[in-house]
Structure 1
Amino acid sequence: MAATGVRELPSNVSWVVTQALHPSDGAADGDGGSASRAMAGERGKVPLTGESLESRLKRARSASEKAHRAEQEARAEANHAKELADAVRKTNEQGRARVRDAKSEAAEEVRRRVEEARERADAMVEGERERAQADADATVHKVGERFEGELDKSRARAEAAQQRAQEKIAEATQRLARARKLADAAAEAAQAAAEAARGKAEELAAGEVRRTAAPKERRAAEAKAVQKKVAGSGAKVARQMSSGRTDQDLRSMTKPELVDLAGALGVETRSSMNKQQLLRAVRRAARKAA
């Protein structure tokens, strides 16, 4: 058999032994026929005496026993060889089966290890993604915190500056209102003095009186100039306040502050005016001044 390297042995061991013992005799004669022919041949050559016949029979029996033992040994050896051949065949089949199983197990092991490697790689990628996302979130959070801190500081500085500006404007408004009142009073006094002096000059028609009236008229003109300057400053402050204040800012002002602002804008106010009336008057004057 080509696969095992063991030849098939003949199944008829008796035939093999017979052929080995009597290669020239026919198979149909059997052991007895062969022995008879051998004895007949001997008789033709040697005289048939009692001693020679007994000797021949003994040798024939011995040869027959040896042939029988040889046949049994050959049969046992053939059986042993067949068992060995069967064992080789079985070993070959088992080896092939083990090879197939080993290939299948190896393929399964490769698939399993590849799957495990892929899972580890996926887990590694996912872990790296999570760490990168956490780092990015932390960076964004820090930037946001810095931005919020800077924004709060900027907002606080802006609110403080706005508060200081409003306080300065309110102070300037009050000062302008007082200056306007003083200028109005001085202008009225100067105008009255000038008119009185002019009347006296007309009545007396004297040069000395005219020289006395001239300085008073100059003072009246100076008072009007101061009044005009104060009014211009009030209009300028009003424009600044109207550009920097919203309607909500105006509503948040107190009534005295609105009165001062109205005076700076040249609005005549009355003590009986309420806050809404003052607001309307200030809005109109601010629009005109703008």
Structure 2
Amino acid sequence: MARSGAVHWLSEKVTTGVRELPTNVTWVVSQALHPSDGSTDGDGGSAGRATAGERGKLSLTGDSLESRLKRARSASEKAERAEQEALAEASHAKELADAVRRTNEQGRARVRDAKSEAAEDVRRRLEQARERADAMVESERERAQADADAVVGKVGEQFEDELDRSRARAEAAQQRAQEKIADATQRLAQARQLADEAAEAAQAAAEAARRKAEELAAGEVRRRAAPKERRAAEAKAVQKKVAGSGAQVARRLSSGRTEQDLRSMTKAELTDLAGALGVETRSSMNKQQLLRSVRRAARKAA
């Protein structure tokens, strides 16, 4: 529960950072595109007229940046929901597996109790038979043993039926959990890609504003470019947080997988999982190479 809470807290922080980026960057772009009215007098008015022609060009960049950041925020929120669903499904699968173990233990205990009671009944009836006559001992023992076998067989059949039903439910839940985990891994990879694109767009906007400030050689424009650079740095920080969150979730999920679970994954799923763990992959890598890379990365993360 503590680890799940930590993952939820980190995912919530990443989502909040991405959610606030569009508003912050939009404010920076609006400040760069719309200078204050006090600059229209004297030389300031000439500078305002000189930059008026550039506003149209920068506005398109601002719209594109805001759109990218909205997509990044939406993808991050979807990835968080997918992560929570996957973790909940995995927890449910574990509960069902525990139920299978309990059913197994209870069934075996019932069989042992039934055997013990049957043996006691055999012993008691044998003693009674000896008291009546030695000739009746063998016949009575056979009848008592037959009764005991019937009781044990009935209890065993009931136990096997219950165990089969529990095992089927646990296997179905495990399959659903694996599908959720694969979907969450893919969504995290998409969110990381969108965050990378948003960070690159923010950096490009900051570079354009800085170049414009250098061309105009105006101290005021330089001061306006500085907040944009800070926003670009914030976008990079969000990019790292998204990547870090994806890697952390992937490490926790991969560490809980068995060898059979990893081998049942497709090459595409292994590639996504390796990317979330920070492993560099090549298109020429086969499934065995991807499996070895994922195992090494999971051991290092542990």
Q: TM-score range by the shorter chain?
A: 0.5 to 0.7
Pairing 1:1-290 to 2, within 5 Å after superposition:
121-202=133-214, 204-290=216-302
Q: Which has the higher contact order (CA 8 A, sep 6+)?
A: 2
Q: Secondary structure at the match of 1:272?
A: coil
Inter-CA distance 126–203: structure 2 relative to 1 (3 Å threshold):
same
Inter-CA distance 188–281: structure 2 relative to 1 (3 Å threshold):
farther
- Code of the residue aligned with 2:272 in structure 1: it is D
Larger radius of gyration: 1
Residues of 2 paired with 1:157 and 1:129: CA distance? 42
- Code of the residue aligned with 2:165 in structure 1: it is K
Offset of residue 193 of structure 1: 2.7
- Code of the residue aligned with 1:240 in structure 2: it is R
Residues of 2 paired with 1:251 and 1:174: CA distance? 18
Offset of residue 151 of structure 1: 1.3
Given that 1:180 and 1:263 are in contact with CA atoms closer than 8 Å, whether structure 2 keeps it comes out as: no
Segments of structure 1 that go 5 or more residues without pairing to the other structure are 1-116
Residues of 2 paired with 1:123 and 1:203: CA distance? 120
Residues of 2 paired with 1:118 and 1:268: CA distance? 81
| Matching residue of 1:46 | none
Identity %: 89
Q: Secondary structure at the match of 1:173?
A: helix
Give RMSD over aligned pairs: 2.7
Residues of 2 paired with 1:118 and 1:160: CA distance? 55
The TM-score with structure 2 as length reference comes to 0.51
- Code of the residue aligned with 1:210 in structure 2: it is R
Instruction: Write out per-residue CA displacement over residues 192-215 of structure 1, whole angstroms, 9 at most, x where no aligned residue.
Output: 332343344355443442354244
Aligned residues: 174
Q: Secondary structure at the match of 1:268?
A: coil
Offset of residue 256 of structure 1: 1.0
Residues of 1 paired with 2:192 and 2:201: CA distance? 14
Inter-CA distance 137–186: structure 2 relative to 1 (3 Å threshold):
same
Residues of 1 paired with 2:301 and 2:130: CA distance? 79
Given that 1:235 and 1:289 are in contact with CA atoms closer than 8 Å, whether structure 2 keeps it comes out as: no
Offset of residue 170 of structure 1: 0.4
- Code of the residue aligned with 2:148 in structure 1: it is A
The TM-score with structure 1 as length reference comes to 0.53
Segments of structure 2 that go 5 or more residues without pairing to the other structure are 1-128
Offset of residue 241 of structure 1: 2.4
Greater helix share, structure number: 2
